[in-house]
Chains A and B, each alone.
Chain A
């Protein structure tokens, strides 16, 4: 990609930076700046292309997520970061017109391979969504949902323990231990999101994908979730999509910058935010657009 191209993209108003624009992008000659590969990769994507019908949303992205690291993905709206995240646990399968090409591996195993079971995959690669979405069930049942489906507990006592451990890890236990039978929908927004995190970690996933988990929360609740992410990385590998650059800078070790379906730059979070090497990255993080 040339500088002239980049200027042209920069001039596109944000509302128009969507899937439509990408039809005119020449994929052939772009190259990700920085080091997309790591040594201890938990998940690795190679030459991933994602299409919604005729439109290409992700173009030839190759990226590793290292074991026990937090990788943040940033970029303007419509840049494909959520699409990429959702292809990591095949949530895109729900959308009938969506096709994923390329190779995505979890522990060296192709997750789009013919023998792969999406049910097991999603148990290993959990997801936390943008809007807190607890089930209209009790707090206990929300957390117990996954373990029940996957048969992880063989007795009431085991289930109780899974629920307590998960809620503790999501640092929600102290707040809800006396009201476990109350509906999860009755909690505050931040508590609901931590409940969703507890629900996701109750099935002991290896990777947790977070799709803008704090965008519906106030700054205090956001701070708690960020602290939580910091603790969770001891046990889990985390990929987080965020619109907040401060958040990416605070929680992640590596940062990937997406632009119009392309992975423009990836690298150490500190380097990305202090010395971006690509002009688009620099424009974005300095707030010139996006």
Chain B
């Protein structure tokens, strides 16, 4: 019995409940002297029946799916002989996975022993039983729920309000899912990071000036002393973000000013979408643009004036990242500048101020909080950006503020630590989670500041 079958059956039961509930309410209404004698419309009674049929059964279904695996596992393991169960946790896990693999048909029976084959038969039996029971129970709950609702249909039942409050709860639980997901991400990163900090002291991580996360796998390996100083990564991240913001903020802000104050409506209607296309270009495309076009160009330019430029430089990555962020800054600033009331413009122009005086002395100060908020959001994006930096800025964790050298960032190191086959008990891999945690806090802090700034000054000119 497939999950989708259960789901479709449930849906069908809801539809049936809807029609039954609506029909019954109509009958009752007609008997009581017209539909006006009912508190709610017949469809509300229908919705109520459908929700009563659907929601408890759906809840049961979800809970069942969540606990099914572990219950079946413990049942199957209980059926195993005692000497097998006496194995260590890891061996038992492997043993169990093999027999499940056979049960679902992925592993040839030849590689298993007789107990496993027997147990896999038990597994199949239990699973089969579980599926049938699940189907039965879900349908039963749905039918009971639907019937209860239909039985309650009376002229004075406030089905409309009832449906309304159920929908409020559905909306609430949807928004709760987003909160839970965030919490889940933070916690999973946090726990792995704590494991990392058990191996590497937190002060070494936060204040160390050396980043070379190669760990010795065997005791006799040479040249592999892991050091996890996070400062070079932070400096690299800030350096590239600073270069990016130096490009994005002036260009984005000034194009926003041009578009909102000077450009004709026609020009604006063409230019704004085009600039917003820039925001739609995948970052990996920006990445190879940076690596193959901008970086060599900067290196050649640097060499022609006698500077030594690394072929992968913070400057190249920052420049391209800045270009990527331009539409972001522009779009936000444009909205904010346009939102400054026209009366401000008229007041200033009416005093004999020129357009640029008006922009500098009235519009920008009035729009400043919003612009600062937008810029801080853009900084968060720059800090979190990975692809461009992987391709254009390199991997060497050098502690430098010279933008002509290759640097690396927090996100790039997370990527390199986690790609490929990794052992998840080595500090090298776990370091990725510690970096992720720090990154999370940095961007969170910036977002909080941005929100604070925006909120504090938002209504100033109203």
Report the Cα distance A137→B348, complex, angstroms. 13
**A21 in contact (CB, < 8 A):** no
Q: Which residues of chain A are within 8 angstroms of B357 by Cβ–Cβ distance?
A: 149
Which A residue sits closest to B343, measured CB to CB? A133
Q: Which residues of chain B are within 8 angstroms of A200 by Cβ–Cβ distance?
A: 350-351
**B140 in contact (CB, < 8 A):** no
Which A residue sits closest to B350, measured CB to CB? A127
Q: Which residues of chain B are within 8 angstroms of A183 by Cβ–Cβ distance?
A: 460
B352 touches A146 (CB 8 A): yes
* B 425-462 contacts with A by CB, 8 A: 460-462
Known contacts A91-B346, A94-B346, A131-B343; is-contact A121 B352 (Cβ 8 Å): yes
Closest approach, in angstroms, between the C-beta of B365 and any C-beta of chain A?
7
Which A residue sits closest to B265, measured CB to CB? A96
Question: Which of these, B348, B352, B366, contacts A123 with CB under 8 Å?
Answer: B352
* A 267-290 contacts with B by CB, 8 A: none
Category for how many chain A residues contact B = 20 to 34
**B135 in contact (CB, < 8 A):** no
**A196 in contact (CB, < 8 A):** yes
How many chain B residues touch the partner (CB < 8 A)? 22
**A37 in contact (CB, < 8 A):** no
Which A residue sits closest to B345, measured CB to CB? A94
B351 touches A196 (CB 8 A): no
B365 touches A149 (CB 8 A): no
Question: Which of these, A89, A134, A136, A150, contacts B350 with CB under 8 Å?
Answer: A89
Closest approach, in angstroms, between the C-beta of B346 and any C-beta of chain A?
6
B349 touches A149 (CB 8 A): no
B352 touches A150 (CB 8 A): yes
Q: Which residues of chain A are within 8 angstroms of B347 by Cβ–Cβ distance?
A: 129, 133-135, 196, 199
**A145 in contact (CB, < 8 A):** yes
**B361 in contact (CB, < 8 A):** yes
A203 touches B351 (CB 8 A): yes
Known contacts A135-B366, A136-B461, A185-B461; is-contact A149 B344 (Cβ 8 Å): no
Known contacts A91-B346, A135-B347; is-contact A149 B352 (Cβ 8 Å): yes
Report the Cα distance A50→B252, complex, angstroms. 38
Known contacts A133-B341, A133-B344, A185-B461; is-contact A91 B365 (Cβ 8 Å): no
Report the Cα distance A119→B347, complex, angstroms. 13
Closest approach, in angstroms, between the C-beta of A85 and any C-beta of chain B?
11
A112-139 vs B, Cβ < 8 Å mask (1 yes, 0 no):
0000001111110011010101111100
State the main secondary structure of chain B at its contact with A. helix
B346 touches A122 (CB 8 A): no
**B4 in contact (CB, < 8 A):** no
Closest approach, in angstroms, between the C-beta of A17 and any C-beta of chain B?
24
Question: Which of these, B264, B352, B354, B365, contacts A137 with CB under 8 Å?
Answer: B365
Closest approach, in angstroms, between the C-beta of A111 and any C-beta of chain B?
13
Q: Which residues of chain A are within 8 angstroms of B345 by Cβ–Cβ distance?
A: 94
B460 touches A146 (CB 8 A): no
Q: Which residues of chain A are within 8 angstroms of B366 by Cβ–Cβ distance?
A: 135-136
Q: Which residues of chain B are within 8 angstroms of A129 by Cβ–Cβ distance?
A: 343, 346-347, 350
* B 118-172 contacts with A by CB, 8 A: none
Question: Which of these, B346, B353, B361, B460, contacts A133 with CB under 8 Å?
Answer: B346
**B254 in contact (CB, < 8 A):** no
B460 touches A185 (CB 8 A): yes
Closest approach, in angstroms, between the C-beta of A169 and any C-beta of chain B?
16
Q: Which residues of chain B are within 8 angstroms of A133 by Cβ–Cβ distance?
A: 341, 343-344, 346-347
* A 163-200 contacts with B by CB, 8 A: 183, 185, 196, 199-200
Q: Which residues of chain B are within 8 angstroms of A145 by Cβ–Cβ distance?
A: 348, 351, 353, 361
Q: Which residues of chain A are within 8 angstroms of B264 by Cβ–Cβ distance?
A: 96
B353 touches A119 (CB 8 A): yes
**B362 in contact (CB, < 8 A):** yes
A135 touches B362 (CB 8 A): yes
B346 touches A136 (CB 8 A): no
Q: Which residues of chain A are within 8 angstroms of B362 by Cβ–Cβ distance?
A: 135
B353 touches A149 (CB 8 A): yes
Closest approach, in angstroms, between the C-beta of A187 and any C-beta of chain B?
14
Closest approach, in angstroms, between the C-beta of A3 and any C-beta of chain B?
40
* B 310-349 contacts with A by CB, 8 A: 341, 343-349
Known contacts A131-B343, A135-B366, A183-B460; is-contact A126 B361 (Cβ 8 Å): no
Report the Cα distance A151→B299, complex, angstroms. 48
Closest approach, in angstroms, between the C-beta of B154 and any C-beta of chain A?
51
Known contacts A133-B343, A133-B344; is-contact A119 B365 (Cβ 8 Å): no
Closest approach, in angstroms, between the C-beta of B38 and any C-beta of chain A?
43
The 7 A-B residue pairs whose C-beta atoms are closest, nearest first, are A133-B343, A122-B352, A123-B352, A127-B350, A136-B461, A146-B351, A136-B460
Q: A119-B352, A135-B461 are in contact. List 16 more A-B contacts (CB 8 A).
A: A91-B350, A94-B346, A118-B352, A122-B350, A123-B351, A129-B343, A129-B347, A131-B343, A133-B341, A136-B460, A136-B461, A145-B353, A149-B353, A150-B352, A199-B347, A203-B351
Which residues on B are within 8 Å of A, measured CB to CB?
A: 264, 341, 343-354, 357, 361-362, 365-366, 460-462
Q: List 14 A-B contacts (CB under 8 A).
A: A91-B349, A119-B354, A122-B349, A123-B351, A123-B352, A127-B350, A129-B346, A133-B341, A135-B344, A136-B365, A136-B366, A183-B460, A200-B351, A203-B351
